Chain A
Amino acid sequence: MPLADTMTNRTNIAWSPDGTLEVLTFDIGGEIFAVEAVLVQEILDPLPETRVPGADPLVHAVINFRGRVIPLADLRVAFGMDTALTGEDARIIVLQIEIAGDPTLIGIITEKVNEVTTFLASAAEPPPLLGLRWPRDLLRAVVRRGDDIILLPDLATLFAQVTAPSGEPATLV
């Protein structure tokens, strides 16, 4: 948790001074998730995937994003969701995040992309201690919006385990 809370890096974008955060929301595994909107480079129709044998299941494949080979992550693996589900609405969100100081592109699989919206810090809470099916440190915040609950995943922590050189969690700078 302290990792996520003190994060000021370019992957986990801080709330703005007026207590808002622009995000893009999407659906996976029956839940609504959000990613920081400034990270989003592009939203793509599904592309042919190339499986990388021996890779971490979270980033099981690579895709050709306009002449660049970028990894494709399936957050459903991290949150223990069914990964078989694809539908007409499936899209890939391409994000630019920072790994050890280097800007890196990564695609994430979604079942449906919803909208760009603004979170209010007043509606956000740290992940509750009880009642979650998932490891708490994978989430930055849980945000109430009307009747919905939107999950803001902690991408830095999520990807740190995969990108660490020797299997240890990466130190994020």
Chain B
Amino acid sequence: MSGDNPAATFRLEALDVMDEVERALLDLGRRLGDAQLIDAVFRGLHTVKGSGAMFGFDDLADFTHHCESAFDKVRKGLVPATGELVSVILAACDHMRGLIAAEADVAAGQVFLDGLSAALAGAQGVTPVAAPSAGAHWRIRYFLPSGCLANGINPLALLAELRELGDCQITALTDAIPPLAELEPTDCHIGWEVELSGAITREDIEDVFLFVLDDMEITIEQIASESTPANDHLPTAETGAIAEADRATKNTARVSETVRVPADRLDDLMNRVGELVIAQSRLSQLAEDSQNIALRSVSEEIERLAGDLRATMMVLRMVPVSQLFGRFRRLVYDLARETGKQIDLVTDGEGTEVDKSVAERLFDPIVHIIRNSCDHGLEDAAARRAAGKPEAGTVRLFAHQAGGQVVITITDDGKGIDVAKVRAKAEANGLIEPGANVSDHDIVQLIFHPGLSTAAAITNLSGRGVGMDVVKRTIEDLRGTIEVVSRPGEGAVITLNIPLTLAIIEGLLVRVGQGRYVLPLSAVEECLELSEEEDRRSQGRSLISLRDRLVPFLRLREIFACDSPPDPFQKMVVVASGDARVGLVVDQIIGSHQTVIKSMSPFHRRAAAFAGATILGDGSVALILDIGHLLASAQPREERLRAVG
């Protein structure tokens, strides 16, 4: 983490905390009254308030203070948590994010505060959960962690907070102070013994130490209790505190093992590793050509190391999709409120990892798909009852890894896609001939076609100008595929196949004329030899029959205008994306190749057949073919419709 701009660092961390608060709030919305969640929200708000004030975000601190005090009431059991309160605080969280980013209008905060007081008033009137026992006496002995001063903990502030609780006698414990020669002046060696009396519960005391509890020594004991009920809840409070401390320790452990690194430094490292891989493959080629055994063994060693390094590098950039999925919970929560439908979001496979940049670029398309599912797919409660389904609709997000790809499915249990409507619309737009023999499956894929939206009325939710065609294009830019399966009356499943990373792909190296080209191996279906006879026969047309299927093909020699004579035995590589496939005729199939992708400069923007370039073992450059572009250019009209969807 760079320390040169504390405000920027604060922003990053505060946004993380806000994410945690939001997560806890969303959970709380389902399990009102879960004390751990209430604590988590309170802790998060308290942190944002405290560190906000420290870094000069006074408006933020001020605003957060109100939310924190509201939650303090909930935590103390003065006010029960209600759905209304949760949703007000969620809205307030958005305002806090705005304040953190210094974008929000400070005055706009008043609206949220008004909502907050209304929600609090509404929640009032239910009897508080636990009343503090009157007149308890407590003895607290504690030693702060020795490094606490360096961590910004102020022992005086803790004592002041204790003093606020009630009558208080404080004795300093000085027996742990080492002789002067061994004294570490920046450490805290003093302990304290505090005797407290008044209407105080154990929780009140623990609250004071909430943020230091994890690695300090503390004993809290009740002396000469005047009221017995306190004993009843002592054991539970004890276990609660232990669980709390446990969790806190786990949290700190996780934080200390994480290093925040700017993404561009990772990109730099990635580039270096890419160049190392290229240099290494040159070395191994030299070593193979030489008779020098020692050189060969060193080369093999370096090959192994470079491979490991590359694998490690890839993992560094990986983030679990839970980060992505977490952001959709809020979306679904809001959608449910907007549409008045009951919607459950179920996520699974959150541990699946994907490259950070891929994860970021997946957010918008998935948002759109979920919006569509909630808005058009899921029926309202009455219709669902009539169809014999549970009233609450379910949107299921599931991720898993399959080979070099991450598969993400978004399933809803709504009414499915109206095939007849899509067909009618497609016919009206001239996408298909009226009455053309196109299967339902292919028709449904047309929802990804530009200018085809089946929503009869454009609503606030999905009619925001981004169509499913944009979703499809974004996914294809990631070299992924998208497919939809609809079961009428049961719902729709949208499947995204996304490559794990954008930086390195497994490629198939081919030669066309003098030039060498790379095909993404994930798109290659099969390689076959075009017999001389077949080659001649197919000169006049561009379709070949492959296992009872007609596959269009492209002679890359012609497209690339090669003037050298063709090899006698032409090969064909069949590549596919979704349902569309095309055969590419090449002179030679060289083999698989670890391809470090370099993007094309703006000078070659118009050479659309290429997705990028890579450097081969001998130092020469090979171009990477853009499968999507080749597929689109090979499909005749109807076929193209299917490919473009």
Contact = CB atoms under 8 A, between A and B. Distances in A.
A106 interface: yes
B486 to A, nearest CB: 36
A160 B603 CA distance: 9
Q: Which of A52, A56, A159 has the largest number of chain B CB atoms within 10 A?
A: A52
Given A68-B598, A71-B604, A104-B602, A53 B621 contact: no
A162 B605 CA distance: 8
A165 to B, nearest CB: 6
Contact of B602 (A51, A68, A100): A100
Contact of A159 (B274, B559, B603, B604): B603
Interface size class of B (residues with CB under 8 A): 20 to 34
A131 B476 CA distance: 52
B603 A162 contact: yes
Given A62-B613, A67-B275, A70-B601, A50 B621 contact: yes
A163 B515 CA distance: 24
A68 B608 CA distance: 20
B608 A163 contact: no
A56 B620 contact: no
B559 A104 contact: no
Contact of A53 (B561, B602, B622): B561
Contacts of A67: 274-275, 278-279, 615
B463 interface: no
Given A53-B560, A64-B615, A104-B601, A69 B606 contact: no
Given A67-B278, A69-B613, A165 B605 contact: yes
B606 A167 contact: yes
Nearest to A63: B621
B552 to A, nearest CB: 20
Given A63-B621, A68-B598, A52 B605 contact: no
B615 A55 contact: no
B634 to A, nearest CB: 15
Contacts of B560: 53-54
Interface in A126-157: none
A157 to B, nearest CB: 14
Contact of A59 (B603, B615, B620, B621): B603
Contact of B606 (A55, A63, A100, A106): A55
B607 interface: yes
Given A51-B515, A67-B275, A62 B602 contact: no
Interface residues of A, number: 29
A163 B607 contact: no
Interface string B191-209: 0000000000000000000
B598 A56 contact: no
Nearest to B599: A69
A55 B607 contact: yes
B619 A64 contact: yes
B449 to A, nearest CB: 22
B615 A69 contact: yes
B413 to A, nearest CB: 43
A53 B607 contact: yes
Given A52-B610, A53-B560, A69-B613, A62 B605 contact: no
Contacts of A100: 602
A68 B614 CA distance: 9
A50 B515 contact: yes
B623 interface: yes
B381 interface: no
Nearest to B279: A67
Given A67-B278, A71-B601, 11 more contacts: A48-B619, A51-B514, A51-B515, A53-B607, A55-B603, A55-B606, A62-B604, A67-B279, A69-B600, A162-B603, A163-B602
The list of the 10 closest CB pairs from A to B, nearest first, reads: A53-B560, A50-B621, A71-B603, A67-B275, A54-B607, A163-B602, A69-B613, A59-B603, A69-B598, A55-B607
20 contacts: A50-B515, A50-B623, A53-B515, A53-B561, A53-B607, A53-B609, A54-B607, A54-B608, A55-B604, A56-B603, A62-B621, A64-B621, A67-B279, A70-B601, A71-B604, A100-B602, A102-B602, A104-B602, A106-B603, A163-B602
